Amino acid sequence: MSSTPLLEIKDLHLEFKTFDGVAKVLAGVNLTMQRGDVLALVGETGCGKSMTALAVPRLIPMPPGKITRGQVLFEGQDLLKKSPEEMQRFRAKHLGMIFQDPTTNLNPLFTIREQLIDAVLYQQHDANKVPSKRNFSSRARTMRKQANERAIELMNLVGIQDGEKRLSDYPHQFSGGMRQRVLIAMALAGEPDLLIADEPTTALDVTIQAQILGLIRDLVKKLNLSVLLITHNLGVVAKTCEKVAVMYAGRVVEESSVKDLFKNPKHPYTQGLINAVPTRHTPRRGLEGIPGLIPNLTQPPEGCRFHPRCPKVMDTCQQIPEARRLSAEHKVYCHLYEDAL
Amino acid sequence: MARSLSSKELRHKAREVQWEAFRRGLYRFRSNALSMIGLSSLIILVILAFAAPYIAPYPEDARGKTHVTERLLPPSGEHLFGTDKVGRDIFSRVIMGTGLALRVGIVIIFLASIIGVTIGGIAAYAGGWIDDLLMRITDIFLTVPALVLAIAITAALGKGITNVMIGISLVWWPGFARLTRSLVLSLKEEAFVEAADGIGSSHARILFRHILPNALSPIIVKMSTDFGFAVLTAAALGFIGLGAQPPTPEWGAMINDGRERFPSEWWIATFPGLAIFVMVFSWNLLGDGLRDVLDPRSRR
Amino acid sequence: MKLGSYFLRRLLLLIPLLFGLSLLTFTVSRILPGDPVGLAAGPQATEEIKESLRKEFGLDKPLPVQYLSYIGNLFRGEWGQSLYSRREVASDLKVYFPATLELTLAAILFAGIFGTLLGVVSALNRNKLPDHLARVVVLFFVSFPAFWLAMMFQLVFGLALDWFPIGKRLNILMTPPQTITGLYLLDSILTWNWKAFRMAAWHLFIPALVLSFGALASITRITRANMLEALDKDFVRMERALGMPDRVVIFKYVLRNAFIATLTIIALEFGWLMAGAVLVETIFDWPGLGLYIVESSLRLDFQPIMGITIIYGIVFSLVNIFTDMAYGLLDPRIRYG
Amino acid sequence: MTPLLEVKGLKKYFPQRSGLFNQKTSYFKAVDDVSFTVPKGKTLGLVGESGSGKTTIGKCAIRLLEPTEGKILFDGEDISHLPRKVMQQRRSDIQMIYQSPAASLNSRMTIGQIIAEPLWIHQKMGGYQAQQRVLELLNVVGLKEEHYHRFPHEFSGGQQQRVGIARALAVNPKLIILDEPTSALDVSVQAQVLNLLQQLQDDFDLTYVFISHDLGVVRYLCDEVALLYLGKIVEIASVKTIFEAPKHPYTQALISAIPEPDPEDKKEQILLKGDATSARPRQGCPFAGRCHAPKIAACETKEPPLIATDAGHYVACHLHTTHSHPSGEHHA
């Protein structure tokens, strides 16, 4: 544990101004990722998983958002302290992102070639060195030619047949699964250190979801990628990741290896979540939901934010629980447990 | 089981909820200084319209009384805006014209929106050949710019302020028809309309209870933003000479009066023009603010 | 090519539309009250004179016959005669129409450029001072009656400052450039006549500017709204996430998305401006359709009125067709079918 | 016993327009010859991916869409051609619950008005009586009485769906068509709503048609399952048979693709190539372009009919039907 983690989020607080008041969307998120990790960030609507993911590349609109406390450390350097220009360069060089809806994340008016080549150019070179389209100097031509070759290579990498021919197509000429492949190609154009995938298969059919998850698994192996996968689907977590962090109402409540989490969930919320998914072993009428509703984040509950819905609530739950280390890999933020290490 | 809430308590809660929604809208509108200026200035104009006979120093000038000895006097303490070529006090005539301008705008917008909403609503909801027929008719009206057609129709009907209102309404409704049609068409596809059908609602119920209330906001916004343009169009017809006939104090016609003596006796045409501007500008400010409140998508 | 067949279909659809339009104007001008012959013949005219006038213009025949013969003539290029001047409507239109077209085109160009610019600036400074300022300024200018504003501009820039001429398309003493299109600016370029070009542009500037204000507000507002909508799209976040600099994201990717929607409004405003030209022309003595229609309307001279409305109808429809096609060229998703 | 709902040879084609005069040139076959029955008190699952026609079937069954062809028998009565006025009355027996809870509620009406609307339409019940009934329904679906005067946007998705359920229950329907009722909801809320649906089925003896793309939920909730692929049923059987002994290669692939929330689950995933629409061959079996099973000649030439292989198990696949089906087919 001596090496600097690839990504470390420390005590991150994020607020959003809404008409009803200030929503405390993130309230002390802690998360650590080592190089080579495939980490799932899992939780339900409004738990802040996407906001956490967007905070890393600093893509949260501010205002109305505002980071009030905390750090986002990438190999030790705090991303929140960078200037917008440095940040743009950083995103180009080190990060790749894919989002939920492949139909809306590609620009409908430009060919795949145009968008993919731009992705390559701006990730491989400094923005001010990228030549304009009307620059016909030999250097500019070489750069564009190389980018074009890289684009073809990327199309093949993500498993699009006749990638070279299909570069001239427009996004609407692709199916949903194909578009997601293109987006993955764009995200990987600059060989990022970290790929952040925000619900990459939620908008897709089951058979297509299986294809895309398979592709991500292959790429992890082939390119030795580190992946932060945001999802609400526990099945996707089990199929794709090695480590997992569970979020609830703006905080991480449990961090563990995937195997351990499903075999041995500790936090009452995690237990509830796992029991809420019907599996082949669930008997008729045997499904358990979690009673109650997610809290209103403009007036969140004191202490542990899950306590109003928790079946094992105690007096101490009025205080914010510290991290309890149950094993080297298993952390839980719950008063029910003591540090084992 | 919990105690049932009484009807009265429930009604009380309902009022609270509605009041809250209203307050939010009001808050958004009030926080927009410009629309507040527009609203205040319109309120003043309305008061002016009603109180004109008592405020205007020479109200009889608006009804056509002439003063041959006081022709073409420049603005002064006696005649704030000067006098015209037959010696009428322009200030009085401008004030007395306020009510007319308001009335013209209101009549045009109401006539046009009633015709337009009815035709657009029927076309969209009925669909098929009825839609085709109604929309082709609407298209014909939209092929020629409104003002040109309004000139032609009003000319054929004969000069006069009533015919101006009829003429402009007749060319103004297609805009409302198009808007209503597109609103109804998209609302028809909404799940809640399908759900209304699914519980067994009649066509009339679906249209009047579910579709039209949800189409209302954009229609109101269009009414308010169109108002200024309707006033401008009416003034234009007055200016051409098709509108109110002398001695009616219609602002457009007054500008036309002053045109031949412009710019030497500049005041004759200038002040009625400013009056039109004030009214239209106020409406435009108000309409812009209303759009913010009722159609949040348009301005974020 | 799909685009070609789309164009063809739209042109075919134009025919019933123009039929409808001619029927509408015909109905309006013949059935409604008013006595054009009485007006044309003058107050002293005897019943016989009126009768012979009616016969001459075919007004004694049943209305359907009148309409059919009018339509028939229309197709043969005979657009009828003015009751008043006895001139051919078609040749009058040939003279007046290019003047209006030139004025409208110049105005829509101004409005399009400034409106788009203001809209973009507004959107990029959302809810900050430039945004509010732009909003007030365009609302301010659109609230003036165009004819009144024209008078004021004439007074200030023409008479007081003497920067611009106060009317007409050219100096009275100057010979217009050889007529090719009838648009002076275009003709003077085509004939390499720079003096005429400068003169025509100088005369055109103020009328076109005044006219353009009418369209400025909506173009600005729509551009602003479209810009904001486009900026809010997922692909913008994606492009930022890829590390593209903001200038590329905004001026390459967002602008095209925003502009496509603005295009429709520009076409719509073209019609509004062409009508507004009627008023501006009367002030600046601009020899276009505006003066022509005002005079004809006041005299109930129905042949010119019908001719003018049909010309307006054709031009406005063509503008719409061309915009739709441009729309399709800019947006690959549009399939003509 | 007659089944409560019987669908026979249902087709729904949507005309596609193109050409110089915008004429109808072709048809999109959203549903193409689909038949099934639903016994009283049972739940049939209609499963398929996007574009499989599952929602279209649901909407045809309650006549929100007019079927192009085919019969819909409700309690023995053919309702597929009932005039609108009569059909409106029948809708007290058949109700639907929609995928997007927020969109299916009129945002300008209060919860009370929304739930009371069917009472007024079908029983002319209003005033105090209707209010009491609505309050009762709010209790049944687990909402509170003070929600009566609230507006839909003030509620979470799960609560909105409960409102939708209360509206559907208001007039005591016999059959409810559930169109992906939980796909917009979080899992913990989905579990609540699924529990509620089971409870209501037992309490009110309801029959469900459950439309879903989520096989995990279908496995949990349904008695029988029909799998749809491009507008046709490819396999239909009891839920046990489908999940334990699926025969159609598509069913097998689909089941293998369920991401089970179990890292120990090492079942082999069958990855299908491409997607349904673009991989559809011009003739033969519509699934042939993506099929992983060994192909036989018939796959490329003719569409496999839906044929019983065992009691209550129907499959549309040449691999399972060529050898066992009745003699008449062989001569073709």
**In this predicted model, what pLDDT tens digit does every residue of A157-169 receive, in sequence order?**
999 988 889 999 9
Report the alpha-carbon distance of residue D200 to residue D187 in Å, rounded: 20
| A228 in Cβ contact with A41 (< 8 Å) | yes
- Inter-chain residue contact D49 with A205, CB threshold 8 Å: yes
D195 touches chain B (CB under 8 A): no
pLDDT band at A26 (very low <50, low <70, confident <90, very high): very high
Is C243 within 8 Å of A90 when comparing Cβ atoms?
A: yes
Q: How far is A59 from chain D (nearest CA, A)?
A: 25
Strand A331-332 to D5-18 pairing: unpaired
Q: Are strands A65-74 and A77-78 parallel, antiparallel or unpaired?
A: antiparallel
Using the predicted structure, report yes or no on whether residue D324 has a pLDDT greater than 50. Answer: no
pLDDT tens across B210-219, in order?
Answer: 999 999 988 9
Q: Which helix (H) or strand (E) holds A15?
A: strand A7-18
- Among residues B97, B68, B102, the alpha carbon closest in space to that of B81 is found at B97
Q: Which residues of A touch D240 (CB under 8 A)?
A: none
Cβ distance of B192 and D103 shorter than 8 Å: yes
- The pLDDT > 90 percentage for chain B reads 42
Output the CA angle B201-B205-B210, nearest 5 degrees: 100
Q: C183: part of which helix (H) or strand (E)? A: none
Find the angle CA(C314)-CA(C320)-CA(C321) to the nearest 5 degrees.
90
Phi, psi angle pair for A299, to nearest 5° = -135, 70
Going by C-beta distance under 8 Å and a sequence separation of 6 or more, which residues neighbour residue B18? none
Report yes or no: D23 at the C interface, CB cutoff 8 Å: no
Q: What is the DSSP track for A245-312? A: EEEETTEEEEEEEHHHHHHS--SHHHHHHHHHS--TTPPTT---PPPS-PPPTTSPPSSSTTGGG-TT
Distance, CA of D278 to CA of D51 (rounded, Å): 12
Element at B180 (helix H, strand E): helix B161-188
Residue B133: CB atoms within 10 A of its CB come to: 12
- Residue C77, chain D, CB below 8 Å: the answer is no
Nearest C-alpha neighbor of C204 from the set C316, C287, C269, C90:
C287
Q: Phi and psi for A306 in degrees, rounded to 5?
A: -90, -10
Neighbour order of strands in the sheet with A21-33: A21-33, A7-18, A65-74, A77-78
Shortest CB distance from D18 goes to which of C8, C12, C337? C337
Query: Residues of A with CB below 8 A from C244's CB?
Result: 88, 92, 118-119, 122, 127
pLDDT at B1 over 60: no
- Best B15, B17, B192, B294 residue to mutate vs chain D (most D CBs within 10 Å): B192
Q: Which of A62, A105, A195 to mutate to test the interface with C (most CBs of C within 10 A)?
A: A105
Residue B299 has pLDDT above 60, yes or no: no
Q: Tell me what pLDDT residue B296 has.
A: 55
Task: Centre a 10 Å sphere on the Cβ of residue C334 and count the other Cβ atoms it contains.
Answer: 17
Tens-place pLDDT, residues D252-307: 999 998 888 888 877 788 888 888 888 788 888 999 888 988 888 888 888 899 99
Distance from CA of D113 to the nearest CA of B (A): 11
Q: Which residues belong to CATH 3.40.50.300 in chain D?
A: 3-16+26-222
Q: Mean pLDDT, to the nearest integer, of B103-122?
A: 95
Give the count of alpha carbons within 13 A of A68, CB side only. Answer: 14
The more confident residue out of A37 and B266 is A37
Q: Which residue in C has a C-alpha nearest to residue B152's C-alpha? A: C297
CA distance A102 to D213: 19
3-state SS, B60-87, equals: HHHCCCCCHHHCCCCCCCCCCCCECCCC
Hey, what are B240's tokens?
């051409």
| pLDDT (0 to 100) of residue A341 | 67
Return d(Cα C97, Cα C226) in angstroms, integer. Answer: 34
Q: Is D91 on the interface with B (CB under 8 A)?
A: yes
CA distance A87 to C335: 40
E-assigned strand segments in chain B: none
- Residue C303: HSE in the Cβ half-sphere, 13 Å Cα cutoff: 26
The answer to whether C301 touches B151, Cβ cutoff 8 Å, is: no
Chains that touch C (3 or more CB pairs under 8 A): A, B, D
Distance CA D168, CA D165 (A): 5
Bridging pattern class, strands D77-78 and D69-74: antiparallel
Long-range Cβ pairs for the range B191-195 (8 Å, 24+):
B191/D98, B191/D99, B191/D100, B191/D103, B191/D104, B192/D103, B192/D104, B192/D105, B192/D106, B192/D107, B194/D59, B194/D64, B194/D98, B194/D104, B195/D96, B195/D98, B195/D104, B195/D105, B195/D164, B195/D167
Residue B29, Cβ density class (10 Å: 0-12 exposed, 13-18 middle, ≥19 buried) = middle
Q: What is the mean pLDDT of residues A67-80?
A: 92
Note the pLDDT of residue C203. 85
How many Cα atoms within 13 Å fall on the side-chain side of residue B180? Answer: 31
pLDDT surpassing 50 at residue D328: no
Cα(B285)–Cα(D182) distance, integer angstroms:
45
Q: Are D161 and B22 in contact (CB under 8 A)?
A: no
A85 and A224 in contact (C-beta within 8 Å)?
no
What pLDDT does residue D329 have?
A: 40
Q: Rounded to a whole number, what is the distance in Å from the CA of C318 to chain D's nearest CA?
A: 18
Chain A: residue nearest D223 by CA? A284
CA distances from D85 to A60, B200, C272, D79, D122 (A): 53, 9, 46, 12, 12
The average pLDDT across A92-111 equals: 92
The 3-state DSSP class for residue A12 equals strand
What is the pLDDT, as a whole number, of residue B3? 45
Spatial CA neighbour of D110 closest among D141, D154, D144, D142:
D154
Inter-chain CB proximity D139 and B194 less than 8 Å: no
How many helical (H) and strand (E) elements, i.e. helices and strands, does chain A have? 10, 12
Residue percentage of chain B with pLDDT more than 70: 92
Which of D228, D219, D224 has its CA nearest to residue D260?
A: D219
Q: By mean pLDDT, which of A193-207, B249-263, C111-125 is the weakest?
A: B249-263
Distance to chain B for C195, nearest Cα, Å: 31
pLDDT value at position B59? Answer: 79
Give the model's pLDDT for residue C40.
67
**Is the distance from CB of A334 to CB of A251 less than 8 angstroms?**
no
Residues paired with residue D226 on neighbouring β-strands, in sequence order: D46, D236
Superfamily of chain region D3-16+26-222: P-loop containing nucleotide triphosphate hydrolases (3.40.50.300)
Q: How far is CA D2 from CA A296, C230, D38, D116, D201, in A?
A: 49, 56, 9, 32, 19
Give contacts of A259 with chain D, Cβ < 8 Å.
Answer: 263-264
A279–D195 C-beta distance less than 8 A: no
- pLDDT tier at A61, thresholds 50, 70, 90: confident
Is pLDDT at B4 greater than 70 in this prediction? no
Give yes or no for a contact between D152 and B190, defined as CB atoms under 8 angstroms apart: no
Which H or E run includes A21?
A: strand A21-33
D330, pLDDT greater than 70: no
The answer to whether A231 and A6 are in contact (CB under 8 A) is no
Which of A33, B171, D17 has the alpha carbon at shortest distance from C24?
A: B171
- Answer whether D106 sits within 8 Å of B214, measured CB to CB: yes
pTM of full prediction above 0.90: no
Residue pLDDT tens, chain C, 337 long: 467 777 888 888 888 888 888 888 888 777 665 666 766 666 677 778 777 777 777 777 777 888 888 888 877 877 888 877 788 888 888 889 999 999 999 999 999 999 999 999 999 998 889 998 998 899 999 999 989 998 898 888 877 788 888 777 777 777 777 777 777 777 777 787 788 788 888 888 999 999 999 889 889 988 998 999 899 899 999 999 998 988 889 999 999 888 888 888 888 889 889 888 888 998 888 888 888 888 888 888 878 888 888 888 888 888 888 888 888 888 888 765 4
Q: Say whether C143 and B34 touch across the interface (CB within 8 A).
A: no
Omega within 30 of 0 (cis) for the link into D281: no
CA A243, A246, A250: angle at the middle one, nearest 5?
Answer: 135
- Asked if residues D73 and D85 have their Cβ atoms less than 8 Å apart, the reply is no
- List CB contacts of D326: < 8 A, sequence separation 6 or more: none
- Asked if C243 has any chain D CB less than 8 Å from its own CB, the reply is no
How far is the alpha carbon of B32 from chain D, nearest alpha carbon, in Å? 25
* Chain A hits for C237, Cβ within 8 Å: 59, 99, 105
> What tokens were used for D250?
């598509």
Cβ pair C53, C37 in contact under 8 A: yes
Residues from chain B contacting residue C294 (CB–CB below 8 Å): 151, 240
Instruction: Name the burial class of residue C202, with classes exposed (0-12), middle (13-18) and buried (19+) by CB atoms within 10 angstroms of its CB.
Output: middle
For residue D332, what pLDDT is reported? 33
Count of CA atoms in the C-beta half-sphere (13 A) of A132: 6
Q: CB–CB of D17 and C337 under 8 A?
A: yes
